[in-house]
Structure 1
Amino acid sequence: MDSDRDPFLQALGIDEAVPGLVRDLHSGEGRYSGRCIIQRGGGVLVALALRIRRFPPAGEDLPVTLTIRKPGAYWQWDRDFAGHKTRSQISFDPLRGWVREQIGGLTIWLQPVRTDKGLTIEIRRLALFGIPCPGFLLPRSGSTEAEDTQSRFRFDISATAPGLGHLIRYQGWLEPVHEPRGSS
């Protein structure tokens, strides 16, 4: 596989069939901004799980930015939810054919699935500090990426965990930020 290509497109195999804005976001480096809503589940264990994963606090109509860069052998996604920053390293795992996302000591393997409107993203495996999560405890994802009626990138990312219920859901939209030439 071509390590310069976005890991999500590598996992899909052929990127031509991915709808426009979803393909565009996954086609290279870029900066995006928009708005989102974040809903968190309740309880001490959920709060601990979200803290380990470095998820942002709950909020309505929050500004969000996403910066995608490729500083080396992996892709770096920097998310800023109203000042709460989360960085992840994303790469393609050729042994499994999935996307591997690393956030601190947490590693998640994701499988994107092409749909008519964009992508659904399923959690296939998870490890915390290298210790694999048993399958029966693996969080479930209801995550989608699509283009909305206003020609914006629409995301709806959610996770539930057996025994804990709703962990988090963040949904919103992004548009490309067009930097003036010569900006750094």
Structure 2
Amino acid sequence: MDAGVVDAVTDASLYRQVMGSAFDALPPQVQALHAGCDARQWSGVARIRRGTGLLSRLVAAAIGFPKAAEQVPVTVAFTPERGGERWTRDFAGRRFSSWQRRGAGRNDALLVERFGAIDVALALVVEGERLTLVPRRWSCLGIPLPKALLPKGKTFETEVDGRFVFDVEIAAPIVGLIVAYRGSLLPD
């Protein structure tokens, strides 16, 4: 089953709006994290890896990604904003945020996540017990960027032992690994 069939109403949570009935196939903790429409916060621990090349370090620093470390306390605050959600991630005091919203036009049926001036349109795909986030296209200040340079990586969410588990990897052609972080969260 995959995302793309949008049959949800607009007062539903952001991920339910994007995924439609596919949302119901998600593991319980993944549904719980994405079911809210109000401000909420989840906390846990994460392991962070960073790329070692000059370009990857520059990109990671520009976005504000955390430095490589083991067993880092992490908090993610979700705040409603302009019809979407502001995700503020705090890795042991190192904070960065993005704004997620339902795609429109050419990004219909996709989740669009903004990091600064960059928008990345993501397909939300249910694969077994995982929600996989698949980059489809990107733009800077609304100007489409070449798909050949689109950042990629293996990014998914799942549930393990009753905890929400995330595994995010962001890499780009030429640049290589920018950042990868893996961990688990529970609601505060």
Q: Same fold (TM over 0.5)?
A: yes
Distance of 1:108 and 1:35 partners within structure 2: 26
Select the structure that is richer in helix.
2
1:169 Cα deviation after fit: 0.6
Equivalent residue number for residue 11 of structure 1 = 18
**Structure 2: 5+ residue runs without aligned partners?**
1-7
Q: 1:93 and 2:95 equivalent?
A: no
Q: How many residues align?
A: 176
Pair 1:76–1:163, CA change in 2 (3 A): same
Distance of 1:86 and 1:133 partners within structure 2: 23
Equivalent residue number for residue 170 of structure 1 = 181
Pair 1:71–1:135, CA change in 2 (3 A): closer
1:72 Cα deviation after fit: 3.9
Q: Which 4+ residue blocks in structure 1 deviate beyond 3 angstroms?
A: 1-4
Distance of 1:51 and 1:131 partners within structure 2: 23
Q: 1:114 and 2:121 equivalent?
A: no
1:59 Cα deviation after fit: 1.2
Question: What SS does the aligned partner of 2:124 have?
Answer: strand
Distance of 2:13 and 2:117 partners within structure 1: 22
Determine which of 43, 53, 71 is the counterpart of 1:43. Answer: 53
**Structure 1: 5+ residue runs without aligned partners?**
178-184
Q: 1:23 and 2:65 equivalent?
A: no
Equivalent residue number for residue 158 of structure 1 = 169
Distance of 2:57 and 2:20 partners within structure 1: 36
> Structure 1: which amino acid aligns with 2:167?
D
Question: What SS does the aligned partner of 2:59 have?
Answer: helix
Distance of 1:53 and 1:173 partners within structure 2: 22
For each residue in 1:38-88, what CA deviation from the matched residue of structure 2 results, as whole angstroms up to 9, or x when unmatched? Answer: 101111111122223321221111000011121442211111111011122
1:16 Cα deviation after fit: 1.5
TM-score, structure 2 as length reference: 0.86
Distance of 2:11 and 2:97 partners within structure 1: 19
1:164 Cα deviation after fit: 2.3
- CA-atom RMSD, angstroms? 1.6
TM-score, structure 1 as length reference: 0.88
Distance of 1:61 and 1:75 partners within structure 2: 27
Pair 1:104–1:3, CA change in 2 (3 A): farther
The answer on whether the counterparts of 1:3 and 1:73 sit within 8 Å (CA) in structure 2 is: no
Question: What SS does the aligned partner of 1:141 have?
Answer: coil
Pair 1:141–1:65, CA change in 2 (3 A): same
Q: 1:84 and 2:94 equivalent?
A: yes
Distance of 1:131 and 1:58 partners within structure 2: 32
